Amino acid sequence: MSKPSLRLSVLAGLLGLAAGCATAQTQQQVAPLVNGMYGALEALYKDLHAHPELAFQEVRTAAKMAEEMRKLGFEVTEKVGGTGVVALLRNGAGPTVLVRTELDALPMEEKTGLPYASQVKAQYAGRETFVAHSCAHDLHMASWVGAARTLVALKSQWKGTLMFVAQPAEETVSGAKAMLADGLFTRFPKPDFAFALHSSPSPYGFVGYRSGPTSSNSDALEIIFKGRGGHGSAPDKTIDPITIAARFITDVQTVVSREKDPAEFGVVTIGAVQGGTVGNIIPDTVVLRGTIRSYQPQVREKLLAGIRRTALAAAAMGGAPEPQVELVPGGAAIVNDAAVVERTTAALKAALPGVQVAQVPPITASEDFSEFLNAGVPGMMFFVGVSKPEDVAAAMKPGGKPLPFNHSPFFAPVPEPSIKTSVQAMSVAVLTALGAP
């Protein structure tokens, strides 16, 4: 048997053994444990929500996570990859299981009106901005701590090593790379399995999963179209980069609609256009910034090549100098391991009878948890609903009020039971991977 086949066989056997064992434990023990600690977890969540920090600035947040893990007996290392935290708990011979949470928040104003809403401001890109946990990383952190507490409480029932990682800068898809570059898998044990969860605006009491591609590739574009400035009343004396940029914005969508396979996902969005100062002056340059999303590598390559070709063509049609085209690679798609997903979801369905566990489509957003998986660690990200079921139902009706999504200033997860479900689901997932006897 080849080494890859042997690894898969061992993986399947280990997870298959654990699925049934973890189920019995969690039904009897995990839920009461989580219920008992919930008050402290909600207080932690609200504190984190009210004190968000931006990417690589998560000093207070990282210190709080480190403190929580030290209290549980973990061996804690701080400042990994900038502000990252690595917490290890060794409990005999067995698999090493990584559990990832994110530390950072977003440069935006919260408008939820919650009593614990963020009022924090910080410097971002040379300007002052509000800061908010509008992607629920605060809920993820509280759940991460809750899962650690649960697993420590059940320490007599499993063997192996817990590797709890608090990652900076997920929102800029750069924190995972920074931690890996700082020796995450050389200074510390390379894990056998990895897990992460993410909130979604689906109803609470819901856990979503899928095998294979689960999030999108993410790339950024910045194009500087060059022209020749002049008076707005004499456009013939100029080369107008605004019209060239406008042509590109329209034409680049044909790469999506006419060159990409219609059955494959791909999006090109221009999110920023900067050029000119007043209405009667044609500027020298226009800058465009945008994002490119895809699932499949071949689609990613086609979109990137099409963007560059279309930009050059738009400039040539306008008689302009060649534009400066910068295509910046971002996060790669998360590809969940099929064997891990199969065994974990079987355990979740059996161990969480009051929770709906169902397959979901891949998301179009991006996430750098993929960096850990692409380093050769089989793993899984799953999704936990955080919205009131009646709000979700109302939003789905014709003319219903849209439900605030992640990154909305109005996004407000319902802490209970969302945190409880998250802690229970992650605890089951880790126990399953550990092969608890």
Q: Which two tokens stand for residue 76?
A: 């804690």
Tell me, yes or no, whether 280 and 347 share the same domain.
no
- Residue 141's H or E segment, with its range, is helix 137-153
How many structural domains comprise the chain?
2
pLDDT at residue 24, rounded to an integer: 60
Cis peptide preceding 417, ω within 30 of 0: yes
Task: Name the nearest CA neighbour of 235 among 267, 280, 196.
Answer: 280
Strands 193-203 and 96-102: parallel
Clarify whether residues 287 and 351 are in a common domain: no
Whole-angstrom Cα distance, residue 272 to residue 269?
Answer: 9
Supply the pLDDT for residue 349. 94
Q: Do 230 and 349 lie in a common domain?
A: no
Choose the final residue of a domain: 310, 329, 348: 329
Domain check: are 129 and 46 in the same one?
A: yes
Same domain, yes or no, for 202 and 103? yes
Kindly state whether residues 89 and 233 are assigned to the same domain. Answer: no
- 268 and 358, same domain (yes or no): no
Look up residue 28 and give its DSSP letter.
I
Q: 149: domain range?
A: 3-215+333-434
Assign residue 280 the CATH number of its domain. Answer: 3.30.70.360
Do 22 and 119 have their domain in common? Answer: yes
Which pair of tokens denotes residue 208? 């979503």
For residue 173, the tally of other CB atoms under 10 A from its CB is 21
Domain limit, last residue, from 283, 311, 329: 329
Q: Are 210 and 221 in the same domain?
A: no
The pLDDT of residue 19 is 44
Kindly state whether residues 14 and 124 are assigned to the same domain. Answer: yes
At 11 the pLDDT is 41
3-state secondary structure of 425: helix
Rounded distance between C-alpha atoms, residue 414 and residue 417, angstroms: 7
Task: Tokens 């080494």: give the residue.
Answer: 3
Residues 6+ apart with CB under 8 A from 329: 219
Can you list the residues of the chain whose pLDDT is less than 70?
1-27, 436-437
Do residues 151 and 120 both lie within one domain? yes
Distance set, CA 359 to CA 168, 332, 344, 362, 417 (Å): 29, 21, 13, 10, 21
